[in-house]
Amino acid sequence: MKSKITFAIALVTVIIVVLGGTKALQFKALAAGGWSQPPDTVSSAVAHEEHWQDTFEAVGSISAVQGVMVTPELAGTVSEIAFESGAVVNKGDLLVKFDTSTEDAQLKASQAQLEWAQLTVERNRKLRGDSTVSQSDLDQAEANWKQAKANADAIQAAIDKKTIRAPFTGKLGIRQINLGEYVDAGKPIVSLQSLHPVYADFSLPQQDLAQIKTGMTIRVSTDTYTNQPFEGTLTAINPDLDQLTRSVRLQATLDNADQLLRPGMFARVEVVLPSDENVLVIPATAILSAPYGDSVYLIEKATNGPGSVVRQQFVHTGRSRGDFVSVEAGLKPGDKVVSAGLFKLRNGGAVTENNDIVPKANEKPKPSDS
């Protein structure tokens, strides 16, 4: 049994030696024939300087300077609708009128009582001049007149509250009531929004608070109008900070003369700072991130023959803008780096460049359907 095991081990050893020797002879023959690993195909970009305006970036939303959901203060039955959905109305324009037939009748009775009280006051004043009536009778007549006037005013106020008018100039939304419908107090009738101007509401972290002040220029972009930025002015800074996020809320005003921005829109906001600087930029795809630091692959001319090789270079990155990132240390203008295909590379490996099929980097990339 022992001899069989020894024979098997010897046989396996011989096979391994034969295979190893065969492979060694093959590699030696390939090396003698000038064979080498083919170069990897990559895309490249050149590190270059650009002039970047310093900005603070945030996300926020658009809100109306004046915007309300029009609701009735008193319940009633709709007797007249004086607007169309989506119409533009001026301040004071009639929107909806409720049935006020009961109040109208009460007002006529109250006005009759007011007229009688007025005549009584005037008559008692003349008689008081002749000392025909006492001062208490005159005082009672005047009190009755005031009470009658208050009753008439109360009824008139109820009628006015059932006659709903536009509180300010703006654009109406979709009507939510119908003619003849009984509407409870507080039920939505129609949205009214003032779209010229509008606000952009957003927040910034507390470390940025020292560099911002009202009057600064802001730029707003939305997914709705991808190629059209909107400019405005920073008009308000909240005096207190959010205790949970340690951020300060800000508000900018935009003219919105074309009424393209609508309340509720998601917005990307840039606060433009007065300072600017020259930065060295490369495409963000050229950065290889790792726990021990960021690096790039530099493309250099091979020292032992034609072609190019890559060398891994650690860098310190700064701000980003669109598809680009700034490099604060590790590169110099004119350095060529790998911008696509870097995950398959090794330090010192041979590469060839092909930039035909790689999309061009952009500071303000936009979504595309293609």
pTM for this prediction: 0.62
Hey, which CATH number is domain 56-65+194-276, 3.40.50.20, 3.40.47.10, 3.20.20.10, 2.40.30.170? 2.40.30.170
Return the pLDDT at 232.
93
User: Consecutive 10-residue runs of the chain (370 residues): their mean pLDDT?
Assistant: 69 70 62 62 84 85 93 94 93 94 91 89 78 78 88 91 93 93 94 92 92 92 88 93 92 92 92 83 86 86 79 85 84 86 80 73 56
The 10 Å Cβ neighbour count of residue 68 is 15
Residue 8 one-letter amino acid: A
Q: How many helices (H) and strands (E) does the chain have?
A: 3, 18
Return the pLDDT at 288.
86
CB neighbours of 27 closer than 8 A, spacing ≥ 6?
Answer: none
Residue 287 one-letter amino acid: I
- CATH code for the structural domain at 74-98+165-188: 2.40.50.100
Return the pLDDT at 35.
47
Write down the H helix ranges in the chain.
2-32, 101-129, 135-161
- The C-alpha angle 47, 345, 327, rounded to 5 degrees, equals 25
Q: Considering only CA atoms, which of 366, 349, 334 is closest in space to residue 44? A: 334
Return the pLDDT at 128.
73
Return the CATH fold of 100-161. Helix Hairpins (1.10.287)
Return the CATH fold of 40-52+278-353. 2.40.420
At 357, list the tokens. 């099929």
Return the pLDDT at 155.
92
Return the pLDDT at 7.
65
Return the pLDDT at 364.
61
Domain residues of the chain, as ranges? 40-52+278-353, 56-65+194-276, 74-98+165-188, 100-161
